[in-house]
Amino acid sequence: MLIKDKIFLVLYVDVSRIPIEDTYEYLSTVTDAFERIKDESVQMVILPVREQETRLECINPVLLNEEQYAQVQEKLNDLQKVFDELMEQVKEKNNG
């Protein structure tokens, strides 16, 4: 179902200058900050990157048809899973 009033945000966070052992804590802080301002009208994915600057991309669903919307939704869900798995691996590495 197409929800025209829900926007998609993808935040690419540059972690290239963050020591690997501090990455989890840094990304957790960023995630927590955005969780406080997020509401039901926003779907957000946060992705760590090393070879590009931090940036925020917005995908306005008003510009998408039903098929495009479904594709974006699926890709964002996949990206969120990858991020969650990465965060879990870094957390385990830091605790282990």
- 14 pLDDT band, cuts 50/70/90, is very high
Is the backbone of residue 6 left (phi > 0), alpha (psi -120 to 50) or beta? beta
Mean of per-residue pLDDT scores for the chain: 82
- 3 pLDDT band, cuts 50/70/90, is low
Q: How far apart are CA 96 and CA 60, in angstroms?
A: 41
Residue 33: pLDDT over 80: yes
Return the higher-pLDDT residue of 76 and 67: 67
- 13 pLDDT band, cuts 50/70/90, is very high
Residue 34: pLDDT over 60: yes
Rg (CA), the chain: 15
Helices 23-37, 66-95: crossing angle, 10 deg rounding: 140
